[in-house]
């Protein structure tokens, strides 16, 4: 049984995740959950963002990382093999996801960084297609890209494999347009589980709120809900909002459907759309149309508030 579980996680880190994304994507399309918003430009962007990091970025980082680390840390190869699996699993879960929480949050707080993360939020839909949608620079500096390679080198590759697989499942399902968490809210006997679940990990309801194009309805919360695998960071740092509801619309209100290559490779390639955040000499951030004019001097189109109280439901 243990060998079978190991095989699942080993395969998940290679071809398992693409298969899961493909199967769920087929279900989403069959149910019409993209609402005809997946045009040619969006399709190319989503496919490129899904394939290039897996086929180019991560293999290159792993190859050169394992060549460079013995020179940088000659005495640390397999140095932590003695660490028990569950201790390694716990430590990596915390270190990896907490780092990603702040990496993600800073890209909403710092105007200069916003345009590197904007690609992920430009999609006017939620689903498997856009789950990996990121600017290439954001991906290259993504902490997990290097952490996994370093952990393999120091002897913690086995627990890192399990963390990566579980995290991929949680974050993929949180982006899905299939509201798998809804039964936990609707069935009273499941409510206690829902209360724990939605505060522990990212769910469609909490993460969809982060991708909403407005905060006006009391459901959208692109100013918070930054957690990737664990939502508990939003609870701890006061950036969480739990409503158990789903936004009516997603994306960026001032989205100009910039060319896929500009969204994927800005600032190497820039958009030809005049006034776009990704165009030559374009604004660093757009004024948020949902805020008063006085807020125009706010840092980043108001994609974050420093603290937001958690609505306990």
Of 231, 49, 23, 193, whose CA–CA distance to 134 is shortest?
Answer: 49
Name the domain count of the chain: 1
Nearest to 176 by CA among 41, 21, 299, 15: 21
Residue 74 belongs to a domain:
yes
**Does the residue 149 lie in any domain?**
yes
Residue 138 is assigned to a structural domain of this protein: yes
d(CA 18, CA 11): 10
Residue 17 lies in a domain: yes
Residue 254 lies in a domain: no
Residue-wise pLDDT tens for the chain (313 aa)?
Answer: 555 555 555 555 555 555 555 666 566 655 566 666 778 899 899 989 988 887 888 778 877 777 788 888 887 888 888 889 899 899 988 988 999 999 999 999 998 899 999 999 999 999 888 888 999 999 888 777 777 788 888 888 888 888 888 888 899 889 988 899 999 999 989 999 999 999 999 999 999 999 998 888 889 998 899 998 999 999 999 999 999 999 988 999 888 899 999 999 999 999 998 888 998 887 877 755 333 333 333 434 343 333 333 433 3
Q: Does residue 102 sit within a domain?
A: yes
Q: How many Å separate Cα 25 from the centre of its chain?
A: 17
Domain that holds residue 139: 2-180
Answer yes or no: is 192 within a domain.
no
In a domain, residue 260? The reply is no
Q: Which long-range contacts (CB under 8 A, 24 or more apart) does 101-105 make?
A: 101/226, 101/227, 101/228, 101/230, 101/233, 101/234, 101/237, 103/142, 103/143, 104/226, 104/228, 105/226, 105/239, 105/304
């Amino acid at each position: 049984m243990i060998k079978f579980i190991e095989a699942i996680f080993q395969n998940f880190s290679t071809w398992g995740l693409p298969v899961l994304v493909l199967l769920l994507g087929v279900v989403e399309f069959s149910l019409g959950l993209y609402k005809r918003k997946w045009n040619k430009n969006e399709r190319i962007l989503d496919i490129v963002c899904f394939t290039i990091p897996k086929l180019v970025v991560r293999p290159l980082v792993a190859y050169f990382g394992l060549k460079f680390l013995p020179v940088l840390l000659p005495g640390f190869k397999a140095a932590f093999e003695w660490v028990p699996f569950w201790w390694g699993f716990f430590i990596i879960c915390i270190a990896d996801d907490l780092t990603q929480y702040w990496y993600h949050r800073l890209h909403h707080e710092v105007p200069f960084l916003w345009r590197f993360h904007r690609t992920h939020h430009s999609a006017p839909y939620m689903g498997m297609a856009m789950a990996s949608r990121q600017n290439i620079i954001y991906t290259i500096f993504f902490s997990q890209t290097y952490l996994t390679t370093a952990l393999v080198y120091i002897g913690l590759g086995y627990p890192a494999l399990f963390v990566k697989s579980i995290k991929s499942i949680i974050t993929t399902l949180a982006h899905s347009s299939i509201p798998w968490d809804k039964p936990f809210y609707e069935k009273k006997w499941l409510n206690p589980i829902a209360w724990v679940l939605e505060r522990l990990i990212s769910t469609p309801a909490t993460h969809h709120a982060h991708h909403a194009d407005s905060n006006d309805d009391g459901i959208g919360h692109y100013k918070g809900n930054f957690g990737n695998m664990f939502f508990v960071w939003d609870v701890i740092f006061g950036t969480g909002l739990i409503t158990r509801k789903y936004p009516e619309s997603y994306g960026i209100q001032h989205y100009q459907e910039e060319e896929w290559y500009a969204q994927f490779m800005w600032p190497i390639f820039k958009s030809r759309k005049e006034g776009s955040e990704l165009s030559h000499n374009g604004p660093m951030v757009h004024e948020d149309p949902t805020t008063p004019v006085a807020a125009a001097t706010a840092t980043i189109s108001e994609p974050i508030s420093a603290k937001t109280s958690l609505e306990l439901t």
